[in-house]
Amino acid sequence: MPAFEPPIYTLKDIKLRFGTNQLFRGIDLYVNRGDKISLVGRNGSGKSTLLKIIAGIQEPDDGEIFIQPGVSIGYMPQDADLSEYKTLRDVVRSGLPDTDENLEYKAQMLIDQLEISADQSPEFSSGGERRKATLAKALVAEPDILLLDEPTNHLDMPTIEFLEKVIAAYIGAVIVISHDRRFLCNISRTTFWLDRGIMHRNNKSFAHFEEWQDQMIEQEIIAQKNLNKKLAEETEWLHKGVTARRRRNQGRLRRLLQLRQERREQIKQIGSVNMEVENTAWKSKLVIEAKHISKSFNTRSIVKDFSTKIIRGNRIGIVGPNGAGKTTLIKLLTKKLEPDSGFVRIGKNLQEAYFDQNRFTLNPQKTLWQTLCDEGDHIWVRGSYRHVVAYLKDFLFTPDQAKSPVAALSGGEKNRLMLAKVLAQPSNFLLLDEPTNDLDMDTLDLLQEMLSDYDGTMILVSHDRDFLDKLVTSIFYMKGDGTVIEHVGSYSDLLEKQKPQETSGFAKNKSAPKAEKPKIINTRKLTYNQQRLLQVLPSQIEEIEKKIANITEQLADADLYQKDREKFFTLTDELKEMENQKSEAENQWLEISLLAEEIS
């Protein structure tokens, strides 16, 4: 694109107020032809409203809007009303210009590519099917500016990967709101950050957002330090909450890698013992045992001869295309549905807490306070009483919202409230069905922190690849033909292993005869440096531990501070440095050893 080409769309000094809430205090933005933009901000910051203004659906109170003549805009809302359409095919067709029936083939192409059940009624379609039809409607006319509000909600991973390729090849400009970090990193080249009514622009992809956000927060804190006023509550939370949690991520990664190694060992033991006999060492740790379970509906096989043993502390992610049977597998494992063959056994004293993606357990007439606490003003949370307002603040609700009805909340806020309710329940077994839908990045950070520290067992259904990678010890991958495969490690690892073996469903030629697949030989191997580190790191860690023990022994002298204050501070600094070195070395050794085991 030539450097002098003017923007195709411009907003200048846009203001918008809802009641007493000043949503936009002077938004400026411009969109160039071919821009790939991620629009981020906390729930309630006005991201969806801004897309409606760009789409021409919402009028601002003040400001200027300029759009180049002839520029077309396509819009995919977060929750589309499809009640006026008889079939999903009608939904897709409605995105075509009324004046040109010759473009019908484009609708059919998208229906085929997205594998939409075109003749199905929207009323009886799943969330994923409705989402794909709404996406196709926005894409079919190939608008100059494509606006997508949470397009990955309810989509399976093959569809998300297909959408990434569509956006990468798209000639027009694209603005996307999404909570899926991996998706935003893959599709964006520019980031808009909507923060307390002001728009910030960074001409880099979302992959650089966290570093940029931290810089902006630090600059604001420095700018306000000399002013006699309190920092905005949101900024204080961001600085003390988000950035502090990121610093702890390294320790959580190390713990997750250890849990994955433990899961590998568990699977080896399962393979080497007779599952008819209960292993006494595991008796108190058993959560779920399934042996040769199968389930079919009519002639379709959903789960076929699947066996597993889930132990206390395991974090299992369940993935697969829409309709593969993820919900059915959960019901089988939790004995809410009986298998056609095989058996399932549940461990003793299992306390389940269930997160329902449809939020059916929320009463819209109750207040947030009543939802968490029917009587009194305190709630029992993980071993101690918390005031209900203080607990709500942990989930980014203001004190004023505590007495508001659930019906007044946005989709993201309802998800937050559901999480607050579920995570407050006494439990040792969490069952989470798509918990990340509609959540903003800050709430995702908060949720990830809470789940990382959860010491019980967890089964997680999600299409958020980054979220899965950071939390689960292993993946149950459902191929859609009844096969369930367990992979120890992250979803990204599984994806790399699957790529040589199978192509995406969108790339398959279903009419072509099946050719015999050549045998895949694993040619991966450790580099020379990785092999060397695998050998030398244990001894290095041992030496660091000796130094830590020596320093700790010296610091144990109660009179050291009085006798030699300088030595005390020097030793304290050295101890901190040694502990950091040990942490980094252990983390590096764990990563390489896991990689070596995967290769072998």
pLDDT for the residue 234: 47
Cβ proximity of 371 and 362 under 8 Å = yes
Which of 368, 431, 362, 435 has its CA nearest to residue 397? Answer: 368
Residue recorded with tokens 């979803």: 491
- Whether 9-208 shares its CATH topology with 253-498 is answered yes
Residue 597 sits at the vertex; the CA angle it makes with 271 and 304, to the nearest 5 degrees, is: 40
Which residues make Cβ contacts (< 8 Å) with residue 354, sequence separation at least 6?
A: 422, 431, 433
Distance of alpha carbon 445 from alpha carbon 490, whole angstroms: 18
Residue recorded with tokens 């990434």: 164
Does residue 92 register a pLDDT over 90? yes
Cβ proximity of 329 and 484 under 8 Å = yes
Determine how many CB atoms are found less than 10 A away from the CB of residue 157.
20
Which of 399, 588, 599 has its CA nearest to residue 493? Answer: 599
Distance of alpha carbon 600 from alpha carbon 594, whole angstroms: 10
Does residue 13 register a pLDDT over 90? yes
- The token pair that represents 95 in the structure block: 């995105």
Range in 242-246, 289-293, 564-568 the model is least confident about: 242-246
Distance of alpha carbon 504 from alpha carbon 426, whole angstroms: 41
Does residue 231 register a pLDDT over 60? no
Give residue 488's identity as a one-letter amino acid code.
V
565 or 190, greater pLDDT? 190
Share of the chain above pLDDT 70, in %: 82
Give how far the C-alpha of residue 270 lies from the chain's centroid of Cα atoms, to the nearest Å: 31
Range in 59-68, 335-344, 581-590 the model is least confident about: 581-590
pLDDT band at 272 (very low <50, low <70, confident <90, very high): very low
**pLDDT one-digit tens code per residue, 274-293:** 323 233 333 458 899 999 99
Distance of alpha carbon 304 from alpha carbon 297, whole angstroms: 12
pLDDT for the residue 247: 52
Share of the chain above pLDDT 90, in %: 28
Does residue 343 register a pLDDT over 80? yes
**pLDDT one-digit tens code per residue, 22-31:** 889 899 999 9
380 or 230, greater pLDDT? 380
Cβ proximity of 148 and 77 under 8 Å = no
pLDDT for the residue 279: 32
Does residue 273 register a pLDDT over 70? no
Mean pLDDT of 366-378: 88
Q: Which CATH class is domain 9-208?
A: alpha beta
pLDDT for the residue 521: 40
pLDDT band at 444 (very low <50, low <70, confident <90, very high): confident
Mean pLDDT of 117-135: 88
Distance of alpha carbon 157 from alpha carbon 494, whole angstroms: 12
Cβ proximity of 343 and 293 under 8 Å = yes
Does residue 522 register a pLDDT over 80? no
> Which of 203-217, 403-417, 511-525 has maximum average pLDDT?
203-217
Residue recorded with tokens 């004046």: 99
Backbone angles phi, psi at 38, to 5 degrees: -100, 130
- Residue 552 has, within 13 A of its CA and on its CB side, a CA count of 9
Does residue 239 register a pLDDT over 50? no
Pairing of strands 198-202, 190-195: antiparallel
pLDDT band at 223 (very low <50, low <70, confident <90, very high): low
Mean pLDDT of 1-29: 84
Average pLDDT score over the chain: 80
What residue segments make up the domains of the chain, in order of their start? 9-208, 253-498, 528-599
Does residue 235 register a pLDDT over 50? no
533 or 178, greater pLDDT? 178
Give how far the C-alpha of residue 412 lies from the chain's centroid of Cα atoms, to the nearest Å: 13
Range in 157-171, 301-315, 566-580 the model is least confident about: 566-580
Partner residues linked to 432 by β-bridges: 355, 460
Mean pLDDT of 555-579: 77
pLDDT band at 580 (very low <50, low <70, confident <90, very high): confident
pLDDT for the residue 357: 59
pLDDT for the residue 140: 92
Does residue 294 register a pLDDT over 80? yes
Question: Given 1.25.40, 1.10.287, 1.10.3470, 3.30.70, which CATH number is that of 528-599?
Answer: 1.10.287
pLDDT for the residue 246: 53
CATH architecture of 253-498: 3-Layer(aba) Sandwich (3.40)
- The token pair that represents 259 in the structure block: 């849990």
pLDDT for the residue 376: 83
Torsion of CA 410, 412, 417, 418, to 10 degrees: 120
- The token pair that represents 550 in the structure block: 């020596």
Range in 91-105, 365-379, 499-513 the model is least confident about: 499-513
Which residues make Cβ contacts (< 8 Å) with residue 17, sequence separation at least 6?
A: 23, 61
- The token pair that represents 145 in the structure block: 């500016």
Which residues make Cβ contacts (< 8 Å) with residue 15, sequence separation at least 6?
A: 22, 24, 25, 26, 27, 60, 61, 62, 63
485 or 410, greater pLDDT? 485
pLDDT for the residue 115: 87
Distance of alpha carbon 135 from alpha carbon 139, whole angstroms: 6
Mean pLDDT of 346-369: 79
Mean pLDDT of 42-47: 82
Give residue 483's identity as a one-letter amino acid code.
T
Range in 60-64, 98-102, 460-464 the model is least confident about: 98-102
Does residue 583 register a pLDDT over 80? no
Does residue 440 register a pLDDT over 70? yes
Does residue 265 register a pLDDT over 80? no
